[in-house]
Amino acid sequence: MKVLITGANGLLGQHLIKLLLENNYQVVATGRGESRLPFEPSAGFVYQSMDITNPMQTFAVMRSEKPDVVVHAAAMTQVDDCELHPQQCERINVQGTSQILTDAETFSSHFIYVSTDFVFDGEKGNYSEEDETMPISLYGFTKMQAEAMVQTCDIPFAIVRTCLVYGNVLMGTRSNIITWVKESLQQGKKIKVVTDQMRTPTYVEDLAKGILLIIQKKAEGIFHISGKDKLTPYDMAIKTAEWFKLDKALIEKADSANFKQPGRRPLKTGFVIEKARKELGFEPMSFDEALKKFEN
């Protein structure tokens, strides 16, 4: 089976490719520009430069590769950048999704869309798949729009919502909360971390496993794939400092209202993952277990 991944150079893309190759899938990795992946071309792996906002590029790649499954992970995800550059955000997150979805309907048989907890307003928290979406940022709004398009497509689809993804950086990807905290404290920098945002942070290898289960089971519908621990970013920072034996005194508590950011963040998200457990057999590791997989 051949799986095409958009956004392959990102944290999820890299770990998902690694897992798929280990399970003997053919993988077509795509991203803007050159590959930043730690994988050599092989019989089961190829990289194609592809900008999802370029219809001619996406069509040409999809026509030549004809993947069985498309995992659409490419997106503009920086919340503040989306607010500051709304046209670019809409072009990538909405128009780009529309384009790759149209091509998938022509050449593929299963479409998997990676979405976010930011489609919710954060008033209630502990969201299930049936809860009403109500984003409070442009980023969340464009992801909600893309979800709506996916749900009208002509081939089987799955929407994977996830929450605050973290993990080991393989090569050239952006830092995440764990790597940021670790590197800052190692350099003796003081950091402010919010205490009033609740999440169920997701270890990237668990997210990749959840997507693999969806591929294997040809699952359809919306799935919440996240960790099982409810934590604030401050909780995560303290646990990170403790695990790496770094100075917790450098971590200062902060309130979201004290940060002047263009994009609003929902205060309480976090997911109920019972559907994924029941229908997919998904079971994430604890946050403490995931920390032990980071290199000292």
Residue 179 in this model has a pLDDT that exceeds 90: yes
In tens, the pLDDT along 86-139 reads: 999 999 999 999 999 999 999 999 999 999 999 999 999 999 999 999 999 999
Position 173 scores a pLDDT of: 65
Determine the pLDDT at residue 258: 83
Map out the domains of the chain as residue ranges. Answer: 2-167+201-228+269-285
pLDDT on residue 260: 84
Instruction: Flag whether pLDDT at 171 surpasses 80.
Output: no
Counting residues of the chain whose pLDDT is more than 70, the rounded percentage is: 99
Answer whether 262's CB lies under 8 Å from 253's CB: no
Average pLDDT of the chain is 96
Q: Classify domain 2-167+201-228+269-285 at the CATH superfamily level.
A: NAD(P)-binding Rossmann-like Domain (3.40.50.720)
Q: Give 150-154's long-range contacts (Cβ < 8 A, gap of 24+).
A: 150/97, 150/101, 150/111, 150/113, 153/101, 153/104, 153/105, 153/111, 154/105
d(CA 19, CA 24) in angstroms, rounded, equals 9
- pLDDT interval class at 37 (50, 70, 90): very high
Q: Are strands 45-49 and 26-31 parallel, antiparallel or unpaired?
A: parallel
* Distance in angstroms between the alpha carbons of the first and the last residue of the chain: 37
Q: What is the mean pLDDT of residues 167-188?
A: 89
- pTM attached to this predicted model: 0.97
What average pLDDT does this structure show over 38-64?
95
